[in-house]
């Protein structure tokens, strides 16, 4: 079974802090994704990566950056956290564009 | 712009009932469609993926159908159980890597 592991289930940070969310997958998948999920808005794509060191902006990249130094790891960085970034963050991976996405358990991030 | 709609937003049924969840999309040019289940406070679990060339996929008590021309997919759950209670989301893949999610149907199966 594919396993996508997010480093924290719950995280509380302060406004202005630099925040790192980590995601690791164990199935050698090429593609990795970061989403945020908010009530009434559904899942929205922040960034995705189709190879090591490659990244593409999703629908809402403002205020975020990503890093993919190794194939199995995809990090989401909040450069200067703000309260409107309080959300559920979900990481996913897939083998290719026509293959199913597999999700981690999510990180519920609160910015105070 | 692709839009994905799931109606109803919430549904309660007695245990044992067969039920259908709906997913509609506006642009029929899709690569595939995937159904997920999400338990409260958790990530998404992949249930079924239907390629654009397929009409349906089955896994156990679940059957998903796809009608691209009408922009619709349905998820059929047979003999529902309380353990099926969750939010069900569909996502269409339009363009490489581009997953567009619906906002989900929250299902409650009453014992």
- B57: which chain A residues are within 8 Å (Cβ-Cβ)? none
For the segment A95-100, the average pLDDT, to the nearest whole number, is: 78
Q: Which of A103, A36, A45, A1 lies closest to B46, judged by CA?
A: A103
For the segment B100-107, the average pLDDT, to the nearest whole number, is: 94
Least confident of A23-27, A50-54, A88-92: A50-54
- A101: which chain B residues are within 8 Å (Cβ-Cβ)? 34, 44, 46, 91, 99
- Supply the mean pLDDT for chain A: 93
Inform me whether the pLDDT recorded for A105 exceeds 80: yes
Query: Two tokens at A8?
Result: 């924290």
- Supply the mean pLDDT for chain B: 93
The distance from CA A15 to its chain's CA centroid, rounded to whole angstroms, is 19
A contact set with B (CB within 8 A): 4, 6, 31, 33, 40-43, 45, 48, 50, 56, 90, 92, 97-106, 108
Query: Two tokens at A28?
Result: 């050698």
A26 Cα to chain B: minimum distance (Å): 16
Contact criterion met (CB < 8 Å) for A41 and B103: yes
User: CB-based contact (8 Å) between B104 and chain A?
Assistant: yes
For the segment A4-15, the average pLDDT, to the nearest whole number, is: 95
Q: Which of A77, A90, A104, A91 lies closest to A13, judged by CA?
A: A77
pLDDT digits (tens, 9 = 90+) for B64-99: 999 999 999 999 999 999 999 999 999 998 766 788
Inform me whether the pLDDT recorded for A110 exceeds 70: yes
What pLDDT is attached to residue B90? 96
User: pLDDT exceeding 90 applies to what percent of chain B?
Assistant: 85
């Amino acid at each position: 079974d594919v396993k996508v592991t997010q480093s924290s289930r719950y995280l509380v940070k302060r406004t202005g802090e630099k925040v790192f969310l980590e995601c690791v997958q164990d199935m050698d998948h090429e593609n990795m994704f970061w989403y945020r999920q908010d009530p009434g808005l559904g899942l929205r794509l922040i960034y995705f990566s189709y190879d090591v060191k490659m990244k593409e902006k999703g629908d809402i990249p403002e205020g975020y950056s990503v890093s993919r130094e190794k194939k199995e790891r995809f990090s989401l960085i909040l450069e200067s956290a703000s309260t409107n970034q309080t959300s559920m963050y979900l990481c996913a991976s897939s083998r290719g564009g026509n293959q199913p996405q597999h999700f981690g358990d999510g990180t519920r991030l609160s910015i105070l | 712009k692709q839009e994905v709609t799931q109606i109803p937003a919430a549904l309660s049924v007695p245990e044992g009932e067969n039920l259908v969840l709906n997913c509609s999309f506006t642009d029929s040019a899709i690569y595939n469609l995937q159904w997920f289940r999400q338990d409260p406070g958790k990530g998404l679990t992949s249930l079924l993926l239907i390629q654009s060339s397929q009409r349906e996929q089955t896994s156990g008590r679940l059957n998903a159908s796809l009608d691209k021309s009408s922009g619709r997919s349905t998820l059929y759950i047979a003999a529902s159980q309380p353990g099926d209670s969750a939010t069900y989301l569909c996502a269409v893949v339009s363009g490489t890597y581009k997953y567009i999610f619906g906002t989900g149907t929250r299902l409650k199966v009453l014992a």
